[in-house]
Amino acid sequence: MEKSKPVYDKKAAHAKAESYCAYQERSQQEVRDKLYDWGLHHDEVEEVITELILTNFLNEERFAMAYVSGKFNIKRWGKIKIKQGLKLKRVPEKMIIRALNTIDYDDYLAAILAAAEKKAPFITEKDPYKKKYKLVTYLMGKGFESNLISEVLKANNLS
């Protein structure tokens, strides 16, 4: 049996959305989806979103900065993967670029190196070309750019 979704009136949904946003940074799309789940209609959803923005519960730029910071500093994702995640949450391109620019370049290269050094010993491949290919593929899967991967591997004699 499928559980029926709760249906809130606009006032209750607004209060619930405030606590939803206060708990952690959210994108407008996440909040919008949640409001629709709670049974609100288009006009009500947009009104609640506007009110949340005006009261600063919802701030897309703050969300983008927090997302980039968390995915890079904690999960150690590369910029490509972070950008994809933000696009899925429908964050505007300009904000994505601004948020990604907050990542320190040296820290970024250090993260690529750290990921490579952590992974390299676990690649059992004997052929050096295949081993390098597997390492590069792994790093690209983490969202790092191939030109930077090559640069870092060359500079640190990992290629």
Classified as helix, coil or strand, 79 is helix
Residue 134 has, within 13 A of its CA and on its CB side, a CA count of 13
116 and 158 in contact (C-beta within 8 Å)?
Answer: yes
Tens place of pLDDT per residue across the chain (159 aa): 445 567 778 899 999 999 999 999 999 999 999 999 999 999 999 999 999 999 999 999 999 999 999 999 999 999 999 999 999 999 999 999 999 999 999 999 999 999 999 999 999 988 989 999 999 999 999 999 999 999 999 998 876
Alpha helix ranges (H) inside 2-78: 10-23, 28-37, 42-54, 60-73
pTM surpassing 0.85? yes
pLDDT of residue 46: 95
Distance of CA 144 to the CA centre of its chain: 14
